Amino acid sequence: MSHKVIIPIGPYHPLQEEPEFFQLYDEGEKVVDIDIIIGYNHRGIEKLSESKHFDQVAFLVERICGICSSSHPYAYVLAVEDILGGEAAVVPERAVYIRTVVDELQRIHSHLLWLGLAGHFIGYNTVWMWAWKYREPVLDLFEMVTGNRNNYAMLKIGGVRRDIKDEDIPVIKKTLDELVPAVRMFEGAVMDDPVIRARLEGVGILTREQAIDYSVVGPTARASGLDMDVRRDDPYGAYARLDWNIIVEKTGDIFAKTVIRIREMQESIRIIRQCLDKLPPGAIDADVKDIPPGEGIGRVEAPRGECFHYIKSDGTNRPVRHKIRAPSYMNVASNKVAVIGGTLSDATITLAAVDPCYCCTERVAVMRRDTGKKVMNGWDLIKLSQEKTARLKGGGA
């Protein structure tokens, strides 16, 4: 006989940097169900964005998430440039390459960060310390190129804010050269270590069908054998003109997700090197005056997957509607199948394996004050509104 135990994790728990709340329902060692409760990070950014000038919104969306702080503004400026006629038509060539460099540097720092945290979760604090040690030179590059370690403020509508100086290019290349053996070392360390293999292989499997059902994106999808990457499928930046590969694994377990992230770092280093070699001369931004009425979308492959922004403009200097869909929103839901059936001790690494970013994912839910029970989402609110209209109609007639 086993009985169900509910184990709460969070909202403030040493496992997580961010506040989020899991309830694991256990029978013995086995996890039978999971509840994910979020909302501790909700800041109402979509609504705030409607009260800001188009140029200010780029700074606002940068602060959706500290790790993808070039992906969100990139997707946003792509959406606005979509209204203006597309990135290729508006943005000077040099700016496109600089954008690509910043985007890929961000991918390296994000994957190193995840690798460190994953090592920490399975009890390999050495991996954590090493990964974050090699992350520091990347942050130094950011400080040199953009002026800040995080929150780069690099992207603006029509270009970039800062140029990459000619004398900085050898420094960037040298730092990347030093990073290559480190990434190789991680690849060897993860693939050859029997304990890491035992902890990660066959754990938290997301099959190809489940990946499609849950619409996961990014490395989580590529680990399950789905060959998808926005950088190739809907090219932005300079990716269509560069030589790089998409890494796809078949097994769908955490080991595959780890291998994909490590190999993607090597691809990112290759992409940055090519960009620096091809960096054309010229202006770094175009003079964009007014945003005409219209709608635009921007899609960017963030380190965690596809990041989507939608902008509606009515010809004033503020967006009328700004819709954001961050990659973790799709990936976090797949924890439901990945965690259930596994053991409790594997739950932490499985929950972390999709590289969840709750800052990006936060949504608001309205709770009725009288009962405290009914949680309403957008559809319920629409229904409530429709009911009210029906009631008013009935009363008027």
Partner 1 sequence: MDFRLKALTKSIWVFHVSAGSCNNCDIEILDCLTPRFDVERFGIQLVGSVRHADALLVTGAMNKKSIPRLKKIYEQAPKPCVVVACGICAVSQNMFRDSYSMGDPLDKIIPVDVYIPGCPPKPEAIISGIVKLVKKIRGA
Residues in touch with partner 1 (CB under 8 A) = 11-14, 17-19, 39-45, 47-48, 51, 59-60, 63-67, 69, 113, 116, 128-129, 132-133, 136, 149-151, 357, 359, 364
Residue 346 vs 355, nearer CB to partner 1: 355
Residue 340 vs 365, nearer CB to partner 1: 365
CB of 209 to partner 1, least distance (A): 32
Q: How far, in Å, CA of 135 to CA of 76, rounded? A: 26
Q: How far, in Å, CA of 305 to CA of 67, rounded? A: 13
CB of 329 to partner 1, least distance (A): 15
Residues 6+ apart with CB under 8 A from 101: 145, 164, 172, 272, 275, 276
Residue 374 in tokens: 């009914």
Reported as half-sphere exposure (CB side, CA atoms, 13 A), residue 165 has a value of 8
CB of 41 to partner 1, least distance (A): 5
Residue 150 vs 251, nearer CB to partner 1: 150
Write the burial class of residue 256 (CB in 10 Å: 0-12 exposed, 13-18 middle, 19+ buried). Answer: buried
Residue 36 in tokens: 């994910």
CB of 53 to partner 1, least distance (A): 12
Residue 268 vs 361, nearer CB to partner 1: 361
Residue 91 vs 117, nearer CB to partner 1: 117
- 249 and 223 in contact (C-beta within 8 Å)? yes
Residue 142 vs 214, nearer CB to partner 1: 142
Q: Kindly provide the residue ranges of all beta strands, DSSP E only, lying in 125-179, ordered along the sequence.
A: 155-156, 159-160
DSSP 152: -
Residue 109 vs 273, nearer CB to partner 1: 109
Residue 152 vs 214, nearer CB to partner 1: 152
Percentage helix, strand, coil for the chain under 3-state DSSP, each rounded to 5: 50, 15, 35
Residue 143 in tokens: 């400080």
DSSP 304: T
CB of 178 to partner 1, least distance (A): 15
Residue 13 vs 162, nearer CB to partner 1: 13
How many CB atoms are closer than 10 A to CB 233?
12
CB of 127 to partner 1, least distance (A): 12
CB of 352 to partner 1, least distance (A): 14
**CA of residue 379 relative to chain centroid, distance:** 26
Determine which helix (DSSP H) or strand (DSSP E) holds 96, and give its type and residue range.
helix 93-121
The CA distances from residue 377 to 191, 366, 367, 368, in Å, are 44, 7, 9, 12
CB of 64 to partner 1, least distance (A): 7
Q: How far, in Å, CA of 270 to CA of 277, rounded? A: 11
Residue 116 vs 158, nearer CB to partner 1: 116
Q: How far, in Å, CA of 44 to CA of 365, rounded? A: 11
How many CB atoms are closer than 10 A to CB 3?
7
CB of 67 to partner 1, least distance (A): 6
Partners of 9 in the beta sheet?
22
Q: How far, in Å, CA of 345 to CA of 28, rounded? A: 12
CB of 385 to partner 1, least distance (A): 18
